[in-house]
Chains A and B, each alone.
Chain A
Amino acid sequence: MLDQSALQRLFRYGFSLTHDEDTAYDLLQDALETSLRKAPDNAEAAIPYVQSIMRNRFIDQYRRDHRHPTVSFEDNDNQPVNIDPRVLEDTVIAEHEVEAIMSLLEPLERELLFFWAVEGYTAQEIARHTNCPRGTILSRIHRLRQKILRHHESTDDGMKGGTAA
């Protein structure tokens, strides 16, 4: 059985995908209803199991809600890139920019940030958890950083930082 701490963790994961607390709760409840009898007893094993169900259900729902989706969930961005996965580590933003940045990100970009900042995963671990090639994750990190930089330039405020040495 998942304890309160695990449920909060899963709720935050749901929020990373949905960017809405009510929808995140629904997503978590749905996943629990579907998965409980099959989920591993061990909480540490159950969490990624429930996360994978939440992820699949979110993507299914997104595709149904958006007949002409602008967001791609396919691994078609696996071109070789020379990116240091630590580029995000040195990025600095203004306090008030967080909400705006999260609003302009796509679900999988927010998910990536969640895994990196909250769960403390490396690019390799994120790749394993999301069942994506590492190159895809690195591409997303690159695009994420570009997006954050562009947002900074458009607001002309608050962000500094560069690639790690």
Chain B
Amino acid sequence: MNRPLKQAIRDHFEQRVLLKDRLERLESLQTINTPRPTGRHSIARPLIAGSVAAAIAAFLVITLLFPPGSMDSIPMTERIALEVARNHIKLKPLDVETDSMDGIRHYFTDLEFVPAESSLLASADLELVGGRYCSIQSVPAAQLRIKVPYSNRLQTLYQTEYRKDIFGPLPVMENGHAPVTVNVKGITVRIWVEKGLLFALTDEVGLEPIIPPE
């Protein structure tokens, strides 16, 4: 059957629909990314209160209409590791190429935290290659690419502000905890909190680890 090209093309695109989980993820990304108020006498406070009430109502409706799926039953560390591994495998183009943390800090000015160095990596002799904006569990993050000199392999180090309300309890360096290690998609992901930031580092299973085991 013949039809006008315009209608056929329109139908072709309208058949493409973001699935519910992806749609929710993008909405959540925007919600978390909305700048938080800082003024003590913000005139927006009543509006924010209304927005919070609306968000809670929307959450309740969504929860009642769409019971939690399989992802909700996965521990948070595994969810983080899955997301980190998936993005690491893609090795997307960098937003900025720099070999210094100063260069990183200079570039990532739209985050609600300042990228920092981890004491855990201080003795690892890693080369910084650059970074790009990304997110973990919808929290804006910096994705730093690093090179391991002795093997020339590229790894990914994520940093984001540690939101306990979102990420739950995680090992904190300052408290003497060791990183939690999750193996996923053939990649080892180590996750820890330090200097108020969440760090997640990829590594290759079966090779000499970047962070020596304790």
Contacts and interface: CB of A to CB of B under 8 A. Distances in A.
Contacts of A117: 5-7, 9-10, 13
Contact of A15 (B7, B13, B31, B135): B13
Given A1-B30, A30-B92, A159 B2 contact: yes
Interface stretch (B19-27, B123-131, B149-157): B19-27
Contact of A98 (B12, B26, B93): B12
Interface in B152-207: none
Contacts of B27: 1, 4, 7
Residue in B5, B10, B27, B134 whose Cβ sees the most chain A Cβ within 10 Å: B5
Given A26-B90, A92-B4, A95-B1, A113 B33 contact: no
Contact of B18 (A11, A37, A114, A161): A11
B11 to A, nearest CB: 8
B30 A38 contact: no
Interface in A16-38: 16, 21, 24-26, 28-30, 32-34, 36-38
**Chain A interface, >50% SS class:** helix
B2 A64 contact: no
Contact of B29 (A15, A36, A91): A36
Nearest to B1: A95
Interface string B32-59: 0111000000000000000000000000
B122 interface: no
A60 B93 contact: yes
Contacts of A1: 27, 30-31, 34
A89 interface: yes
Nearest to B90: A26
B64 interface: no
Contact of B26 (A32, A99, A158): A32
Interface in A67-119: 88-89, 91-95, 97-99, 102, 113-114, 116-118
Given A7-B23, A34-B133, A91 B93 contact: no
A98 B2 contact: no
A4 B19 CA distance: 11
Contacts of B106: none
A110 B90 CA distance: 24
A127 interface: no
Nearest to A144: B5
B40 to A, nearest CB: 22
B2 A15 contact: no
B14 interface: yes
Interface of B: 1-14, 16-18, 22-23, 25-27, 29-31, 33-35, 90, 92-93, 95, 110, 133-135, 140
12 contacts: A4-B23, A7-B26, A32-B26, A33-B140, A36-B33, A36-B140, A88-B5, A88-B6, A93-B2, A95-B2, A95-B3, A116-B9
Given A37-B33, A91-B4, A113-B9, 15 more contacts: A1-B34, A4-B18, A11-B16, A11-B18, A16-B13, A25-B18, A26-B90, A30-B133, A36-B34, A37-B110, A61-B93, A88-B5, A88-B6, A95-B1, A116-B6
